[in-house]
Amino acid sequence: MKLVTGNDLVSGDVIWWTGSGWSRFIADAVDSGTEGEAIGKREEAALRVNGPYVVEAADGPFAPVPLHIKERIRASGPTVRTDLGVQAEKQH
């Protein structure tokens, strides 16, 4: 599956395209199919995301799992500070 991700313009937080908006939780991300680049361009122009791009992911038990380790770390937070990043917050 293909996810669209980027950073929130103001906070810099990692965010994921949910189909109707953006979420900090990868569990909310949806497969963007072939529309990822177009979604990114449109949303960046509206200042709702900074630097969007498409990443490959696989289905996981609770949430999509990016194929590349860099994206997995982006999705959760620093592996050496599990008290920081979205990993430290309760998933909703």
Cβ proximity to another protein: between 10 and 34 the closer is 10
CB 8, min distance to another protein, A: 9
Distances (CA, A) of 19 to 16, 29, 40, 75: 9, 8, 12, 17
Work out whether the CA dihedral 54, 56, 58, 62 comes out positive or negative.
Answer: negative
CB 22, min distance to another protein, A: 15
Cβ proximity to another protein: between 30 and 73 the closer is 73
Give the separation between CA 33 and CA 7, rounded to whole angstroms: 20
Cβ proximity to another protein: between 36 and 85 the closer is 85
CB 1, min distance to another protein, A: 16
Q: Over the Cα atoms of the chain, what is R_g?
A: 12
Binding site for another protein (CB under 8 A): 7, 9-14, 44, 47, 50-51, 67-70, 73-74, 77-81, 84-85
CB 74, min distance to another protein, A: 6
Identify which of 10, 20, 7 has the alpha carbon closest to the alpha carbon of residue 50: 7
